[in-house]
């Protein structure tokens, strides 16, 4: 009996400890769910507010709103120039940031020697991913505009946003490649493949879902940025589109294939920024709300595409 009493006491202590841990887990679960639903609730309230305010502009025709140029009359003003500008700027951004980001991620993960120098580079890249966007605008103002004399053009905006999302793409590329099991590399090396053949034929296809997700998330951030573009002097009111490549000129000849790169521009965040600053409620409430709805839809569409691609490539990959 004397030996059984301590064992019974220990058993009760263990059971009490398990109950306490389950209670803590339950409390944490409730707090986490509360945080989730609170965040979603705030987001839904903001989107509903934008829909109510912008819905009055959509009542005159959604297509008409997105195909009209800016105007002094709020009922006739549209976002055609801003949508085209956003598309062209993001095109330049992706053309520069994607190959550089993927290449840098591959080198750092597969080729770079693990020493203090590579550790310093990795730490700095991770830190750059959290730098405020206005800093990139100031950097672009000093280099692309002041030194290279590129002016307030699409190429300047594309380069600025490429610098902004480049660390994001590098980090996500490295993480996607790092997630590939080492056994896959060893199996490919065993059949005589070179390092580049292993990366190109096996590592990149297996990590494509994560890499594409990082690219799209980075581009969706870039499409909503206003601060760096305001810093480099993006126009707030523009009524003409960039020149179409190979279009005939009035004085003879044809427009060059890259002339649009050096054209003035505006983008969706700048258009919203311009309308919000006007005193007329038709601009700062109705039109700004409608443009914000379109911008939110563009961002959500890009993030939905990232989720779809991640699921699609995960289903295709079999270890």
- Among residues 196, 204, 163, the alpha carbon closest in space to that of 180 is found at 204
Euclidean distance between CA atoms 315 and 303, whole angstroms: 19
Q: Which of 154-168, 242-256, 257-271 has the lowest mean pLDDT?
A: 242-256
Residue 9 pLDDT exceeds 80: no
The end-to-end CA distance of the chain, in Å, is 57
pLDDT class for 115, splitting at 50, 70, 90? Answer: confident
Calculate mean pLDDT across residues 8-21: 79
Question: Phi and psi dihedrals of 132, rounded to 5?
Answer: -55, 145
What CATH class is the domain 63-316?
Answer: mainly alpha
- 82-106: pLDDT as tens digits: 999 999 999 999 999 999 999 999 9
Please report, for the chain, the start and end positions of each structural domain, with discontinuous segments joined by +. 1-59, 63-316
- The pLDDT value recorded for residue 317 is 61
Between residues 315 and 146, the one the model is more confident about: 146
The pLDDT value given to residue 319: 53
Query: Does the pLDDT value for residue 180 go beyond 90?
Result: no
Of 64, 71, 92, the residue nearest 238 (C-alpha):
71
**Residue listed under structure tokens 């090396």:** 189
Can you tell me whether residue 194 is helix, strand or coil?
coil
CA distance 65 to 271: 13
The CB density around residue 235, as the number of other CB atoms within 10 Å, is 17
The CA distance from 116 to 154, in Å, is 38
Q: Where residue 77 falls among pLDDT bands split at 50, 70, 90?
A: confident
Percent of the chain scoring above 90 in pLDDT = 21
pLDDT of amino acid 241: 86
Neighbours of 160 (CB within 10 A): 28
- In this prediction, residue 240 has a pLDDT band, given cuts at 50, 70 and 90, of confident
d(CA 65, CA 76): 8
Q: What are the tens digits of pLDDT across the range 21-74?
A: 888 899 999 999 999 999 999 988 988 888 888 888 887 778 888 888 888 888
pLDDT band at residue 162, thresholds of 50, 70 and 90? very high
- Model confidence at 236, pLDDT cuts 50, 70, 90, reads confident
Label residue 8 by pLDDT band (50, 70, 90): low
pTM assigned to the model: 0.84
pLDDT of res. 1: 46
- Is the per-residue pLDDT at 173 higher than 70? yes
What pLDDT does 227 receive? Answer: 86
Q: Which residue has the tokens 């005939």?
A: 248
More confident residue, 269 or 114: 269
**The pLDDT value given to residue 4:** 52
Q: What is the mean pLDDT of the chain?
A: 86
- Residue 248 backbone phi and psi in degrees, to 5: -70, 140
């Amino acid at each position: 009996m004397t030996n059984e009493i301590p064992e019974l006491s220990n058993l009760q202590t263990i059971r009490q400890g398990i109950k306490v841990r389950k209670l803590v887990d339950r409390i944490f679960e409730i707090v986490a769910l509360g945080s989730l639903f609170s965040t979603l609730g705030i987001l839904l309230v903001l989107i509903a507010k934008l829909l109510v305010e912008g819905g009055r502009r959509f009542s005159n025709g959604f297509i008409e709103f997105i195909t009209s140029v800016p105007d002094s009359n709020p009922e006739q003003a549209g976002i055609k120039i801003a949508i085209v500008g956003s598309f062209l700027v993001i095109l330049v951004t992706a053309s520069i940031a994607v190959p550089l980001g993927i290449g840098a991620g591959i080198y750092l993960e597969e080729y770079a020697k693990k020493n203090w120098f590579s550790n310093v580079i990795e730490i700095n890249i991770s830190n750059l991913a959290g730098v405020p966007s206005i800093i990139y605008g100031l950097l672009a103002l000093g280099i692309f505009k002041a030194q290279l004399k590129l002016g307030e053009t699409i190429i300047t905006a594309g380069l600025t946003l490429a610098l902004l999302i480049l660390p994001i793409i590098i980090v996500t590329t490295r993480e996607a490649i790092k997630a590939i099991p080492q056994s896959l590399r060893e199996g490919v090396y065993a059949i005589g493949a070179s390092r580049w053949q292993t990366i190109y034929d096996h590592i990149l296809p297996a990590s494509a879902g994560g890499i594409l997700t990082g690219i799209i998330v980075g581009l969706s951030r870039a499409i909503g940025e206003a601060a760096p573009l305001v810093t480099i002097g993006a126009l707030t009111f523009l009524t003409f589109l960039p020149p179409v490549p190979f279009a005939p000129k009035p004085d003879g000849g044809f427009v060059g294939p890259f002339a649009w790169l050096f054209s003035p521009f505006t983008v969706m965040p700048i258009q919203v920024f311009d309308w919000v600053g006007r005193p007329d409620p038709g601009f700062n409430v109705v039109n700004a709300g409608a443009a914000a709805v379109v911008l939110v839809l563009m961002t959500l569409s890009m993030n939905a595409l990232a989720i779809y691609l991640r699921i699609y490539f995960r289903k295709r990959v079999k270890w």
